[in-house]
Each structure stands twice: as structure tokens, then as C-alpha cells.
A and B are shown apart, each in its own frame.
Chain A
């Protein structure tokens, strides 16, 4: 299975970056960080999905969502899950920028699935790697009542 995470299989650069750890070790470490922050993978995925859903409305233009500026790009085509789970994920990439912090996160629709279903945030140095703490810091807006369970 680990080969599906490598470069050129599902995506150009793959999902592991320069991280030489086993996937299970990557997951375990991020789970430990999440627990220390008092969050779950599902709640993070909800938050990320919310920004995708709001950003889609801009048809690739920038959309203000709370204190963030979101830009969602949606290309034609679908990608499979590297964990071999049945189902396909649209080629959507979201950029969530915090003007106050002058920082941004960038992730795909597949990232949301990988976090929700597999608690996998990507290997260190991978293109769509998300640091759980950074996600919470950048996307800190009050939208819990709008959270969705899709993704």
C-alpha cells in the first residue's frame, strides 16, 4: 500500500514528502498532537470542508470567510484514495489565507478525506501536508453551527 503514497502514482509528488516514517507512525504522531489540542480528525475535516464549500462559490475567485480569504480551484477529473478505499475525490484544491497572520494553508478535497477517514495529514514536506496546530490557528472562526459532515 505504501507505494500508492509515493510520487507519480496518484499525484505528481505523492503524499509523503521527505518523511521516511511508516504511514502508521505519521498518523500516530499527528493523533497525539491532535489529542493534546483537544480536537479530533473529524472536527478538523469538518472545518476544512466548510472552507472548501464556501470557497467554491467564488468560481476560482477569492471569497472572504470569517477572518480568512479562501480560493478554491476545481479541475476536471477525480483521484482515488491512496489507502485503496473505494470511491473517488474531485480535484479540488483550497487555499485558506489569514491576512492577520499572513499565513496560509493549502489542501485538497482528498486531504479532507484522508484526515476524516484515515487521520492522515500527509508526510512532512509533502505538498498538501497540514500541521494540525496550524490548521486550527489559521481557520479559527466561529462557524461551528454551519459545520457539515460531508467530505
Chain B
């Protein structure tokens, strides 16, 4: 009886081993796509080894499409138009592509495998995205759950960005987490500071990258990020600028305000910042400084639920309350809205702005929600 069991285990083990060898050989010969050519914008051509995703193939050639999910097909930032060679749309992509995008042959670069020559179209701005190595020179608490991270650039030594843009920071493995992911964070520093960038990072429950920043990253460590990215920036105009943010949504607003101060903007600017209680409020002194530097700038912080011992004589209620009251008193046809914060806050503020005559085409925010 025991002999039969041992024999059966041995036979099954042998079959497994043979199948594994066959799979390895098959992959070597049948999944060998050789060298493939990627033609970009009918202009540039790249030679890559077939078999990897389009996103990885482009990364290997230092062309960085935005991507915040590590190529899992979940963030949908890496959309690009593929005019030739992409094959059929995968089920992992279809949920993230609109009907119009499907018609326009837009695909997720992380889901498209390079098996033959491809022709793709991407924005010229993406060629400006670089990979940076930087040193952490400051890591300090802004609130109990938001940290300021200052990075000094080492390679390349300078970054050129438009205020409002973001970068994608890569975590390093840490206990229990072996995977490297990258997450998008808005730049919080002025764009005339080219050698350092500031980020404001809020600890996300169960977040892989934010936990690394909050509990494992140390000053003096080196990190990798790619950027700059994003289409959130100041638009031309003469009407009032209405900014609304909450939490780490403060970050791009600081960069935008630095720019408005630098150009000595004469536009009227009102910035509503929503917090639950005073412990969620930060950068108030910096905002007071901007009020002195920018001629027509007003900072309006509002607390929705001040703690019993909070001394507070400012606005109270959800951020939409003072925003709505303010918009009702102003002439909004030329006003522009700039938003950054949680998706819930964005949705509520967009609705309030729409109800008060600021149409969606004049409301700007980064869609990395």
C-alpha cells in the first residue's frame, strides 16, 4: 500500500516537472516575439524586445506614461492611442475605456503586450517626463496624518514644472510589503525652486506608499520619482479665481499661489480650505503671508466640526456652506474654480459651483481620483 502511494507521488511529481520544463521551453520559443518597433506620433521609432507591456517597453526607453497602479490596469492613467498592432481590447481594459475612447482606439498601455510592431500616439508633453533620483532632506508632520516631504534632486539636478502638476513617487519594499508601487502627489513648492520639491502626503488607511512615507522613510534616504505630470494649472482669464481644497489638497494650491505671488497677479483670489477641526488645519501662517504678498487674495478656512476646546471664530460648517454663501453674492460669469481634495469634497464643490453659475468648463482639478 505504502509503495503504491510513494509511486503515485513520484509519478505525479515527475509529470509536474516535465510539464514545467515544457512550459519554460514553450515560453522561450513560442512567446519569443523578437525585436519590435514602436512608432510614436509617426515620427520617433523605438526598438524594443517584444513580450513586455507597452508601458514597460516605453519605460525601458525612458518614456514615462503616467501610471499609479504599477501596471495592474486599475488607475487608467496610461491611456494612449494605438493605431496599429494592438490586437483586441482586453476585458481588463474595457471597464476603464469610454465608448468614444474605444472608437478612437485608445488603450491602456499597461495591458497591451508588445507582440508585433506598434504605432502609437501620445502627447508631446509626455516626453518631458523624466525619472529622478532625490534625497529626502525634510520629513515633518504638518498634522497628525499629513507629512511634508522635501526632496533634493540628485539626478537630474533640476526639475521644470508648471505649478499644479504632480509627480509619481515610488516606495521601497518594507516589512510585509515587497511590492514597489508608485503614487501621484502634487508638488507643493514654487516652480522657480528647481532643485527641491515639496510634497504633502496624507496617510491613507492600508495605503502601501503612504504607510511607507509615514512609518518607514527617513531623512537622508534616496528615492525615485517620475514627473512632472498633469493638466491642473492656472488658466488665462480676468475673472475671480475660486480655490477650494481640503487635507493634502493644499499642496497644489501652495504652488499655484506662489506663482500668483511671483507674477504679482491682480486677479481677485479667494481660497476656501475645509477641515473638520483645528487639528486638521495647517499652513495658516503661509496663507497669511500670501495675503500680504498677493494684492487681492483672501484665505477662508472653515471647520465643519470644531473640537470642544477649539478656539475658533472663523467660518463653520461643511466647506460648501461658506462657498455657496460667497458665490451667491458674487458675479460668476468669468470666475474660474480650482479644486483639490477628496473625491467627495470635489463632487460637492463642483455641484455648488455649477448651481451658482460656474460651469464645468471653468472648473479645474486633477482627475487622479
Residues of A within 8 Å of B73, CB to CB, are 80
Please state if B75 and A86 are interface contacts (CB–CB under 8 Å).
Answer: no
Beta-carbon contacts under 8 Å, A40-99 to B: 56, 58-62, 72-80, 86-88, 90-91, 93
Question: Any chain A CB within 8 A of the CB of B95?
Answer: yes
- Please determine whether B343 and A59 come into contact, CB atoms closer than 8 angstroms: no
Query: How many residue pairs at the A-B interface have CB separations less than 8 Å?
Result: 91
Whether the pair B74, A61 counts as a contact (CB closer than 8 A) is no
CB atoms of A61 and B211 under 8 A apart: no
Instruction: Choose one: A12, A62, A78, A128; the contact of B208 (CB below 8 Å).
Output: A12
CB of B368 within 8 A of chain A?
yes
Q: Is B304 a contact of A11 with CB atoms below 8 Å?
A: no
Q: How many residues of B contact A (CB 8 A)?
A: 40
In contact, B319 and A90 (Cβ under 8 angstroms) = no
Question: Is there an interface contact between B206 and A11, defined as CB atoms closer than 8 Å?
Answer: yes
- Minimal beta-carbon separation of A69 from chain B (angstroms): 11
Q: Which residues of chain B in 57-99 are interfacial with respect to chain A, using CB atoms and an 8 Å cutoff?
A: 68-69, 72-75, 91-92, 94-96
- Contacting A at CB under 8 A, from B202-221, are 202, 204-208, 211
A9 to B179, CA, bound (A): 7
A12-61 contacts to B, CB under 8 A, are 12-13, 56, 58-61
- In the bound assembly, the distance between CA atoms of A79 and B211 in angstroms comes to 16
Residue of A nearest to B202 (CB): A75
Chain B 195-237 interface residues, beta-carbon cutoff 8 Å to A = 202, 204-208, 211
| Residues on the A chain within 8 Å of B305, using CB | 61-62
Cα–Cα distance between A79 and B74 once the two chains are bound (Å): 7
Is the C-beta of A105 less than 8 angstroms from some C-beta in chain B?
no
Closest to A75 in B: B204
CB distance from A87 to the nearest CB of B (A): 6
Q: Could you tell me if B246 and A59 are in contact, using CB atoms closer than 8 angstroms? A: yes
| A60: min CB distance to chain B, Å | 6
Contact for B207 among A7, A74, A75, A128, CB less than 8 A: A75
Residues from 28 to 79 in B contacting A, C-beta threshold 8 Å? 68-69, 72-75
Give Cα A13 to B174, complex, Å: 12
CA distance A11 to B74 in the complex (A): 14
A59 B95 Cβ-Cβ under 8 A: no
Contacts A11-B206, A59-B345, A61-B304 given; does A77 touch B177 at CB 8 Å? no
* Contact in complex: B95, A87 (CB < 8 Å): yes
| Contact flag A59-B344 (CB < 8 Å), given A8-B208, A75-B204, A93-B205 | yes
Whether A135 is near chain B, meaning CB under 8 Å from some CB there, is no
- Whether A12 contacts B342 by the Cβ 8 Å rule is no
Interface residues of B in 241-280 (CB under 8 A from A): 246-247, 274, 276
The reply to whether the CB of B183 lies closer than 8 angstroms to some CB of chain A is yes
Of residues 87 to 135 in B, which have CB atoms within 8 Å of A's CB atoms? 91-92, 94-96
- Asked if A77 and B68 sit within 8 Å, CB to CB, the answer is yes
Asked if A8 and B368 make an inter-chain contact with CB atoms under 8 angstroms apart, the answer reads no
Q: Which residue of B lies closest to A76 (CB)?
A: B369
One of A60, A87, A108, A127 near B342 (C-beta < 8 A)? A60
Report which of A12, A77, A108 forms a contact with B176, defined as CB distance below 8 A. Answer: A12
CB distance from A57 to the nearest CB of B (A): 9
Contact A59 B319 (CB under 8 A): yes
Of the residues B91, B304, B318, B342, contact of A74 by C-beta under 8 Å = B342
- Residues from chain B with a CB closer than 8 A to the CB of A72 are 344
Return the chain A residue nearest B94 by Cβ.
A86
Q: Which residue of B lies closest to A73 (CB)?
A: B205
Which B residues between 328 and 344 are near A, CB-CB below 8 angstroms? 342-344
- Distance in Å from the Cβ of A112 to the closest Cβ of chain B? 15
**B179 near A77: Cβ-Cβ < 8 Å:** no
Tell whether A8 pairs with B176 under 8 Å between CB atoms, given A59-B246, A73-B205, A77-B68: yes
A73 to B207, CA, bound (A): 13
Complex CA–CA separation, A50 to B176 (angstroms): 33
- Chain B residue numbers with a CB within 8 Å of A12 are 176-177, 206-208, 211
Q: CB-CB < 8 A to B289: which residues of A?
A: none
Bound form: Cα–Cα A78–B75 in Å: 7
In the complex, besides A79-B74, A86-B94, 19 extra interface pairs with C-beta distance below 8 angstroms are: A7-B176, A8-B179, A9-B179, A11-B206, A12-B177, A12-B208, A12-B211, A13-B176, A59-B318, A60-B247, A61-B305, A61-B318, A73-B342, A74-B344, A76-B343, A77-B183, A80-B69, A127-B206, A128-B206
What are 8 A-B pairs with beta-carbon distances under 8 A? A7-B176, A11-B206, A12-B207, A12-B211, A13-B176, A59-B344, A75-B204, A87-B95
Which B positions have Cβ atoms within 8 angstroms of A? Answer: 68-69, 72-75, 91-92, 94-96, 176-179, 183-184, 202, 204-208, 211, 246-247, 274, 276, 304-305, 318-320, 342-345, 348, 368-369
Q: 9 nearest interchain CB pairs?
A: A8-B177, A11-B206, A7-B176, A61-B304, A74-B344, A61-B305, A76-B369, A74-B342, A80-B74
